[in-house]
C-alpha cells in the first residue's frame, strides 16, 4: 500500500531507481545518526509549515582551553569569565562531528538553521541564526530534518593492520586528555604539499580509538629528529596545552634558572667538537634568511636584536659526556619554541653542530671523519636483514657515527608537563580548584637505534 501510494504521488518521469530512493527516504525518515534528547518539532512557526526540525541538545558552556592553559602555567585560579561562549557553527560541529563542515556551512548560507531561545521571557519561537552568532546557555539549534537521513561518513582507513599496529606501538602514554608518541626519525609531523603519511594524519586514523575527534598537535618536531610528541585528544586539552607552550615561550626570560617550571623539555644531541663551558645559557635571537635565489630558506642568529623579524630564543645546555673522538653528548633544554632553535644555537653559537645536520653544519662535516667499527656494523646489518621491513619506508637502524653518512642525532628524551586530564577533572568538579597544585607527568622516550649505537660506540 505504501509503495503504491508513493508511485501514485511520484511524477510520471520518475524512474524505478528514483522510486526506490524515495521509498527509502520515507522508510528511514525516523532514523537518527546523532544522539539528542529531544524529538524534532513540527509546525514550530510559519517558517516550518508541514516540515520537521532536527533539534540539537541545549548549549552548555565549556571551559576556555586557552584561559585554562594560561592559568595553569601561572598557577592561578580560573574565573567565571573563563567559561567560553561559542558560535552557532561551532556548536553544530561539536554536536554532530560526523557532518561535513562544508555541509553545515552551506546550511547556514542558505539560512536553513534556526535557534530556539532559552529565555523564558521571550516567545518560544524559532528564529534564523547565522554561523557567527553567539548562542546563550540553554539555546537549542535546529537543523533541517534531512540531515538525519544522511549516512555516516566513515573515514576510510587507508592503512593495513601492520601499519596501524606500528603507529600504535609508538604510543608512550595515553589518558583521556592526551596521547604521547615516540616520533620516529624521518616521519614528518604535519602534512603538506608532497608529504605522505604525516604523523597527524596517521594519528587521526590510528590513534583516535573510541573518540569522535582526532588527536591534535600541541607542538612540533623536525622531520629528521625523534622523541616525545604530545597530542591533545580533545579540543579543550589541545588548546590548553598549546597555551602552556605559548606562555612558556613568552615568559622564557623569567624562567631562566627555575628548576620547578611547569613545562620542561630535555633533548639529547651528539655534536661535533665540545663547548668551551660544561654548561651554560644561550640567548640569541633567530630570524629567517632566504638563500639560493629564493628557492629555500634557513634560520640564522640575528646580531641586531632590534630587527623586527628577530625572535628571542633561549636554550640551556650541559655536557652529558665527552669523548676523545671529538664528539660530545649534550643535554639541551629549550625555554622557547623556535624553528630549528637547537640546531642553530649548537652550530652558530656554541660552534658545535649536531652530527648529521648538514643544513647548519656542512663545513664541519666535510672535515669530520666517521668512526669505522666493522664488527659492530656487521652485527647491526645482520639484525636488519633478519628483521621485518618497517612500514612507511622508515629506516630506524642505519645512521650511526660508524657510517659514512650519519643521520641527525637530535632526540627529545624527556618532558615534564602538567597532568591535563587530572586538571580538567578537578576544574569540572570544583570551580575553586587551585591550579598551582596540578601534578606533573614525567615522560621519557628511549633513543632510536642508530643514536643508541652511537652512544655504545663512544662508550666502548
Q: Which residues contact 148 (CB under 8 A, 6 or more apart)?
A: 29, 31, 32, 33, 34, 40, 54
Interatomic CA distance for residues 264 and 262, integer angstroms: 7
Q: Can you say whether the dihedral through the CA atoms of 367, 349, 281, 449 is positive or negative?
A: negative
Residue 222 bears catalytic tag: yes
Q: How many helices (H) and strands (E) does the chain have?
A: 13, 20
For residues 282 and 307, the answer to whether their CB atoms sit within 8 Å is no
Interatomic CA distance for residues 322 and 345, integer angstroms: 19
- The active-site residue, picked from 82, 222, 255, 357, is 222
- Write the DSSP string, 200-228: HHHHHHHS-TT-SS--EE-S---TT-EEE
DSSP state of 162: H
Number of CB atoms found within 10 A of residue 36's CB: 15
Q: Which residues contact 64 (CB under 8 A, 6 or more apart)?
A: 82, 83, 84
443 forms beta bridges with 415
Q: What is the CA radius of gyration of the chain?
A: 28
- Report how far apart, in Å, the C-alpha atoms of 331 and of each of 53, 155, 205, 220, 318 are: 60, 41, 34, 19, 5
Interatomic CA distance for residues 109 and 310, integer angstroms: 42
Residues noted as catalytic: 222
Amino acid at each position: 500500500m505504501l509503495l503504491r501510494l508513493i508511485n501514485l504521488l511520484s511524477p510520471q518521469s520518475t524512474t524505478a531507481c528514483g522510486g526506490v530512493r524515495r521509498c527509502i527516504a520515507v522508510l528511514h525518515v525516523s532514523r537518527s545518526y546523532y544522539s539528542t534528547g529531544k524529538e524534532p518539532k513540527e509546525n514550530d512557526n510559519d517558517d516550518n509549515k508541514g516540515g520537521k526540525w532536527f533539534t540539537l541538545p541545549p548549549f552548555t558552556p565549556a571551559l576556555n582551553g586557552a584561559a585554562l592553559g594560561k592559568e595553569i602555567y601561572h598557577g592561578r585560579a580560573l574565573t567565571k569569565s573563563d567559561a567560553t561562549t561559542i558560535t552557532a557553527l561551532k556548536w553544530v560541529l561539536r554536536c554532530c562531528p560526523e557532518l561535513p563542515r562544508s555541509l553545515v556551512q552551506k546550511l547556514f548560507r542558505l539560512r536553513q538553521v534556526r535557534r530556539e531561545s532559552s529565555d523564558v521571557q521571550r516567545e518560544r519561537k524559532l528564529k534564523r541564526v547565522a554561523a557567527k552568532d553567539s548562542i546563550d546557555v540553554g539555546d537549542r539549534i535546529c537543523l533541517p530534518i534531512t540531515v538525519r537521513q544522511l549516512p555516516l561518513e566513515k573515514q576510510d582507513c587507508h592503512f593495513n593492520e601492520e601499519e596501524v599496529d606500528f603507529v600504535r606501538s609508538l604510543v608512550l602514554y595515553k589518558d583521556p586528555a592526551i596521547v604521547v608518541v615516540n616520533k620516529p626519525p624521518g616521519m614528518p609531523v604535519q602534512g603538506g604539499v608532497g608529504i605522505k603519511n604525516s604523523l597527524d594524519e596517521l594519528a587521526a586514523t590510528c590513534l583516535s580509538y573510541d573518540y569522535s575527534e582526532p588527536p591534535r598537535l600541541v607542538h612540533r618536531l623536525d622531520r629528521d629528529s625523534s622523541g616525545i610528541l604530545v597530542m591533545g585528544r580533545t579540543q579543550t586539552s589541545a588548546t590548553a596545552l598549546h597555551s602552556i607552550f605559548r606562555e612558556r615561550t613568552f615568559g622564557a626570560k623569567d624562567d631562566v634558572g627555575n628548576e620547578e617550571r611547569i613545562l620542561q623539555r630535555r633533548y639529547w644531541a651528539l655534536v661535533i667538537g665540545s663547548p668551551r663551558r660544561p654548561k651554560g645559557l644561550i640567548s640569541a635571537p633567530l630570524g629567517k634568511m632566504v638563500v639560493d635565489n629564493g628557492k629555500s630558506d634557513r634560520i640564522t642568529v640575528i646580531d641586531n636584536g632590534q630587527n623586527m623579524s628577530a625572535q628571542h630564543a633561549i636554550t640551556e645546555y650541559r655536557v652529558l659526556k665527552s669523548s676523545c673522538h671529538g664528539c660530545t653528548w649534550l643535554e639541551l633544554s629549550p625555554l622557547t619554541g623556535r624553528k630549528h632553535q637547537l640546531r642553530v644555537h649548537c652550530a652558530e653559537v656554541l660552534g658545535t653542530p649536531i652530527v648529521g645536520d648538514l643544513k647548519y653544519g656542512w663545513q664541519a662535516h666535510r672535515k669530520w671523519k666517521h668512526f669505522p667499527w666493522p664488527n659492530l656494523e656487521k652485527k647491526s646489518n645482520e639484525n636488519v636483514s633478519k628483521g621485518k621491513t618497517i612500514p612507511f619506508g622508515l629506516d630506524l637502524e642505519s645512521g650511526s657515527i660508524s657510517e659514512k653518512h650519519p643521520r641527525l642525532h637530535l632526540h627529545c628524551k624527556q618532558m615534564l608537563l602538567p597532568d591535563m586530564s587530572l586538571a580538567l577533572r578537578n576544574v569540572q568538579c570544583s570551580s575553586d580548584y587551585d591550579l598551582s597544585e596540578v601534578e606533573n607527568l614525567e615522560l621519557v622516550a628511549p633513543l632510536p637505534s642508530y643514536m643508541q649505537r652511537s652512544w655504545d660506540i663512544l662508550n666502548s
